[in-house]
Amino acid sequence: MTDARPNRPYIDPTMADAPARAAAPEAKPAWQQASKATRPSTPPQRPKVVRPTQGSYLRRHWRGELSLARSYWLNNVVLATPLALGLTGLMSWISVKGDSLQVSAIVTLLGFPLLMALDVWCIVGAWRAAAAYLHEQGSLLWGWLARISLALGALQLLASVVFGLLPNLGEFWSMARGIDPLGQAKFSLSADGRSLRMDGVIGMGDGERLSTLLANEAARDLRRVELSSPGGRVTEAERMAAALKRHGHESRAVGTCASACTLVFLAGNPRQLTPTGQLGFHRASTGTYNPVFEELANQHLASTYRDLGLPQSMIDMTLRTPSRSMWFVPRDELLRHALIAPSPQTLAIPLPGAKATLADFDDALRIHPVWEALERRTAGTIDAVAKRMWAAHSAGATDEAVQAAALQPLAQQMPALLNGTDVALRRRYVQLVSEQLKALRTPPQPRARPACRDLLDGRLGARQQLPLALQVRETQWLEDAANGAPPRWLPKPPSAIEIEVLDRSVGSHALGLLARLWADAPDAPATATGAPCEPVIATLDRLQAQPPARRELAERLLFQTR
């Protein structure tokens, strides 16, 4: 018999929930479920920024829609940097080498805004591109390096505007209209037409003005250009130097000749520096605080100095001196490099030629440091000396006699110099006189007058017989005494107590022992021998052993009489 019912699965009666278990699949452990869970293969990304491709290339860069590589490397480095360097170089070349400061100012006023606009366009566009690059999970390293570089460029641009353009904007605007805010130099021709003096700042147009003056008929007898200027426009100074060199005149610094003025001074031949003159050097300054401008200007300045004969060591020192400072070159260094004519070592001056005039002698005396110092102390000294020397020259006197003619006006000043100087200078002179007497001392001979006696008796011609070294030392002493401060009062005649002290220490004969040293006495007859010099020399030697107070008193009374 057949069972029509379908077969049923066997169910264990001991398990009441067996059907339910059979119907529901067995649940897996939590740890097994986690290990089997699917994981994303890459981290979630921010939605990619869709860069628009519409609009001009300039506008897309400005909005930061270009890639960082294109905005920074292509636009800033490859394209903008050469354009900026080219524009900067053009502006610098016109400022340094241009024929007109007015043109340079116009180019600067037009070129600087263009350069600023180019920098702003590059920096802003690249900054926005860097921000978009970082937003898209780009490399932090490259993104921030680009930002730092752009920030430094922005700071440099800001510094150029704040410290370079704005402070000089008024100056550039004035020059663009043909007006120099620095002013102009003043030129004055001497009455005899032999000297042209330049005072003040060198400004626009001064190069052309000097060139015109040198070519003028009124300057046909011109010999020198005297300079006293703090400097000014380098371009104008170069034109002035070229004009001075072309005409072959000498230059003379009669005061402070600094900065651009030194270019004019170095163009002279010969070059002279008066005792009150000084030369100052420093770096050139374009006033823009732009390193490219500054470097080009100073390289050109160094080349100009080199062409004018300035040694490389002085050029290097000039370029190391900031434009706001000044390096005043010592006279010894100028002499060592043969940049100025050497100063006379004695009172003698370079004598003019056979057709010399009074002005020639006056000019030669004014460049001499000692005669110039004596003129400052006693006005009219050079005029008196020049007249005597010119008179002797006109009378056909020898060169030695012409030089000796200058000693008489000096002899009139010597009492005031000897009595009005300080203790140290007076002691130096007493020691010098002792050596002069010893140098002129000769063995006693019958009917022979020693030259040391002529010196003591005030015969000025005997000084030309002194050795050159002693003449040089006396000249140096005269310069120091003339440059010293004048006394508040002249010394009083010696009192009875001072005479008594002198009598007991050195001897009464010491009073006025050297009083006739510069008496300008007439020449002694050939048969007059005079007293010997040995007692005077011995007295001067004994002074060195005296106590300081007595020695000071004795040295003062040597040049005084009762």
Q: What is the C-alpha separation between 98 and 233, in angstroms, rounded? A: 12
Taken in order 434, 440, 442, 448, the sign of the CA dihedral is negative
The mean pLDDT value of the chain amounts to 82
Tell me which residue has tokens 């628009």: 52
What is the pLDDT at residue 1? 46
For the stretch 539-544, contacts whose Cβ atoms lie closer than 8 Å and that sit 24 or more positions apart, written own/partner, are 539/506, 539/507, 539/509, 539/510, 539/513, 540/430, 540/431, 540/433, 540/434, 540/437, 541/434, 542/506, 543/430, 543/506
Q: What is the C-alpha separation between 339 and 39, in angstroms, rounded? A: 88
Instruction: Name beta bridge partners: 225.
Output: 196, 251
pTM of the model: 0.64
Position with higher pLDDT, 11 vs 171: 171
Q: Which residues contact 268 (CB under 8 A, 6 or more apart)?
A: 224, 225, 244, 249, 250, 251, 252
Instruction: Name beta bridge partners: 278.
Output: 256
- Before 167, cis peptide (omega within 30)? no
Provide the token pair at 538: 């011995």
> Quick one: average pLDDT of 526-539?
77
Q: What is the C-alpha separation between 538 and 513, in angstroms, rounded? A: 12
Dihedral of CA atoms 535, 539, 541, 544 in degrees, nearest 10, equals 180
Task: Annotate 397-432 with b (16+ C-beta within 10 A) or e (fewer).
Answer: eeeeebbbbbbebbeebbbebbebbeeebbbbbbbe
**Helix (H) or strand (E) segment spanning residue 388:** helix 381-394
Give 25's DSSP letter: P
Alpha-carbon radius of gyration of the chain: 46
What is the pLDDT at residue 490? 66
* pLDDT > 90 in the chain, percent: 36
Provide the token pair at 181: 């805010």
Q: What is the pLDDT of residues 137-173, one digit of tens each?
A: 777 777 788 788 888 877 877 777 777 667 777 777 8
> Quick one: average pLDDT of 499-519?
86
Position with higher pLDDT, 32 vs 163: 163
Q: pLDDT band at residue 88, thresholds of 50, 70 and 90?
A: low
Taken in order 37, 41, 43, 48, the sign of the CA dihedral is negative
Tell me which residue has tokens 């220490």: 505
Mean pLDDT is highest, among 162-176, 223-237, 526-540, for 223-237
Hey, what domains does the chain have and what are their CATH numbers? Answer: 57-176 (no CATH), 186-336 (3.90.226.10), 343-405 (no CATH), 411-557 (no CATH)
* Residue 319 CB neighbour total at 10 angstroms: 16
* Residue 461 CB neighbour total at 10 angstroms: 14
> Quick one: average pLDDT of 97-106?
67
Q: What is the pLDDT of residues 332-385, one digit of tens each?
A: 999 999 999 888 889 999 888 878 889 889 988 988 989 999 999 999 999 999
Q: What is the pLDDT of residues 118-143, one digit of tens each?
A: 888 888 888 888 888 888 777 777 77
Q: What is the C-alpha separation between 322 and 282, in angstroms, rounded? A: 6
What is the pLDDT at residue 445? 66
Q: What is the DSSP string of 112-162?
A: HHHHHHHHHHHHHHHHHHHHHHHHTT--HHHHHHHHHHHHHHHHHHHHIII
Position with higher pLDDT, 526 vs 261: 261
- Please check the confidence at residue 228 and state whether its pLDDT lies above 90: yes
Q: What is the C-alpha separation between 199 and 538, in angstroms, rounded? A: 55
Q: Are the CB atoms for 367 and 272 separated by under 8 Å?
A: yes
Instruction: Name beta bridge partners: 280.
Output: 258, 328
For the stretch 544-551, contacts whose Cβ atoms lie closer than 8 Å and that sit 24 or more positions apart, written own/partner, are 546/505, 546/506, 550/501, 550/505, 550/506, 551/427
Q: What is the pLDDT of residues 284-340, one digit of tens each?
A: 887 656 677 788 889 989 999 999 999 999 999 999 999 999 999 999 999 999 999
Q: What is the C-alpha separation between 172 and 64, in angstroms, rounded? A: 36
CA 209 distance to own-chain centroid: 25
Q: Name which of 522, 507, 524 is nearest 558 in CA terms.
A: 507
> Quick one: average pLDDT of 98-111?
72
Q: What is the C-alpha separation between 201 and 229, in angstroms, rounded? A: 6
Provide the token pair at 471: 């003449």
Give 508's DSSP letter: G
For the stretch 293-299, contacts whose Cβ atoms lie closer than 8 Å and that sit 24 or more positions apart, written own/partner, are 293/88, 293/91, 293/92, 293/95, 296/89, 296/92, 296/93, 296/96, 297/92, 297/95, 297/96, 297/234
What is the pLDDT at residue 32? 56
Q: What is the C-alpha separation between 340 and 222, in angstroms, rounded? A: 20
**Helix (H) or strand (E) segment spanning residue 195:** strand 195-199
Position with higher pLDDT, 155 vs 89: 155
Q: What is the DSSP string of 425-482?
A: HHHHHHHHHHHHHHHH-----TT---HHHHHHTT-GGGGGGS-HHHHHHHHHHHHHHH
Dihedral of CA atoms 491, 494, 500, 501 in degrees, nearest 10, equals 10
